[in-house]
């Protein structure tokens, strides 16, 4: 598999993923993993999640922004690991972009609820595998 | 949910998981995540995976043993994160324990194939969540 083919296959996998696994550096340098709804993505460059400002992950990202996003189809032995950094955004643009109908259930104060925030993951490198093919490439 | 209830629910989730996500510390301190077949587990204390001696993960674990194992049922909002350390074992006992019929396909030299090895994950702490309940506890 060429690097160009891997980019196409990787993007297809990320675009169709309903959730993704976010990796962050925990307090003792132990990697934490959490399944999160993948709200949006911009190509392979950026992935957006919603989160609670009070969550463990927001504190971890504030301490250490190094992070990863992983999506996999375990049945067909396909997986994409994006390596990069994560940041927490709570400005109006980020809130509006990710807000969905029904979020009032989690954030009763609405789009300006102080506990509502957005995690933006920025990818720098990628590793895509499918069966025995395994390709690493830079982003973009 | 009490801590005792969380232990029971967590063990049920781990016992029935066909695969798990292994978190390791990558070269630049970026967390790596990989879906792996969960070969066996001893309670919540230990989880066993098979791997290639030449894999990226073996090199990472040799450099930094801090690791995590995550299993999730995304449909029912259940997840278990085990935090601890991982080690690579290649002795006869470990090889025999994890060897399965059909492994010859991946390791043509059989159980003594120098590329065949076992990752043993040792858990120290756990975080179990189910819907809005979220419980952290020590292991054992």
Cβ within 8 Å, pair B33-A21: yes
**pLDDT tens-digit readout, A59-69:** 999 999 999 99
State how far the Cα of A58 lies from the Cα of B57, in Å rounded to an integer. Answer: 27
Question: Stretch B96-122: mean pLDDT, rounded?
Answer: 95
Residues of chain B found within 8 Å of residue A24, distances taken between Cβ atoms: 31
pLDDT for res A115? 94
Using the beta-carbon criterion (under 8 Å), do A33 and B84 form an inter-chain contact? no
Q: Mean pLDDT over residues B45-68, rounded?
A: 95
User: Does the pLDDT of residue A39 top 90, yes or no?
Assistant: yes
pLDDT at position B132 over 90: no
Per-residue confidence (pLDDT) for residue B74, from 0 to 100: 85
Instruction: Give the domain extent around B8.
Output: 3-138
> Which chain A residues touch B if contact means CB-CB below 8 Å?
19, 21, 23-26, 28-35, 64, 66-68, 70, 72, 74, 79, 81, 83-84
Looking at the domain assignment, is residue A20 inside a domain? yes
Contacts of A67 in chain B (CB under 8 A): 30-31
Burial annotation A69-96 (CB, 10 A radius, 16+ → b, else e): bbbbeeeeebbbbbbbbbebeeeeebbe
pLDDT at A132: 87
Residue A140 lies in a domain: no
- Note the pLDDT tens digit of each residue in A74-110: 888 999 999 999 999 999 999 999 999 999 999 999 9
pLDDT (mean) for B45-69: 95
Task: Give the per-residue pLDDT at B75.
Answer: 85
CB A32 within 8 A of CB B81: yes
Q: What is the value of ipTM here, to two decimals? A: 0.94
Whether residue B67 and residue A23 make contact (CB cut-off 8 A), yes or no, is no
Could you tell me if residue A130 is left (phi over 0), alpha (psi between -120 and 50 degrees) or otherwise beta? beta
Rounded alpha-carbon distances, angstroms, from residue B35 to A6, A86, A125: 18, 21, 18
Q: Which residues of B touch A (CB under 8 A)?
A: 18-19, 21, 23-26, 28-35, 64, 66-68, 70, 72, 74, 79, 81, 83-84
CA neighbor of A49 nearest in space, from A38, A41, A60, A58: A38
* Whole-number pLDDT of residue A96: 96
Residues B10, B5: Cα–Cα separation, whole Å? 8
pLDDT value of position B133:
94
In a domain, A103, yes or no: yes
For A125, nearest residue in chain B (alpha carbons) = B30
For residue B59, what are the contacts with CB-CB under 8 A and spacing of at least 6? none
A46 lies in a domain?
yes
Q: B23–A29: do the CB atoms touch at under 8 Å? A: no
How far lies B62's CA from each of A76, B117, B123, B129, in Å? 29, 13, 17, 30
Structural domain count of chain A: 1
Q: Residues B8, B137: contact at Cβ < 8 Å?
A: no
Q: What is the CATH number of the domain that holds B18?
A: 2.30.110.10
For A73, phi then psi, to 5°, come to: -110, 95
% of chain B surpassing 90 pLDDT: 92
Mean of pLDDT values over A17-34: 95
B86/B46 Cα distance (integer angstroms):
9
**Has residue A94 been placed in a domain?**
yes
By the 8 A CB rule, do B126 and B47 touch?
no
């Amino acid at each position: 598999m060429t690097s160009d083919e891997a980019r196409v296959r990787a993007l297809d996998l990320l675009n169709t993923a309903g959730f993704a696994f976010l990796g962050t550096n925990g307090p003792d340098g132990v990697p934490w993993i959490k399944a999160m709804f993948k709200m949006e993505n911009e190509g392979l460059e950026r992935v957006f999640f919603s989160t609670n400002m009070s969550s463990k992950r927001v504190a971890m990202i504030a301490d250490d922004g190094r992070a990863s996003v992983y999506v996999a189809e375990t049945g067909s032995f396909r997986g994409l690991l994006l390596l990069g950094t994560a940041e927490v955004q709570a400005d109006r643009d980020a809130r509006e972009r990710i807000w969905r109908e029904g979020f009032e259930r989690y954030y009763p104060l609405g789009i300006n609820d102080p506990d509502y925030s957005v995690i933006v993951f920025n990818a720098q490198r990628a590793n895509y595998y499918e069966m025995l093919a395994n390709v690493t490439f830079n982003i973009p």
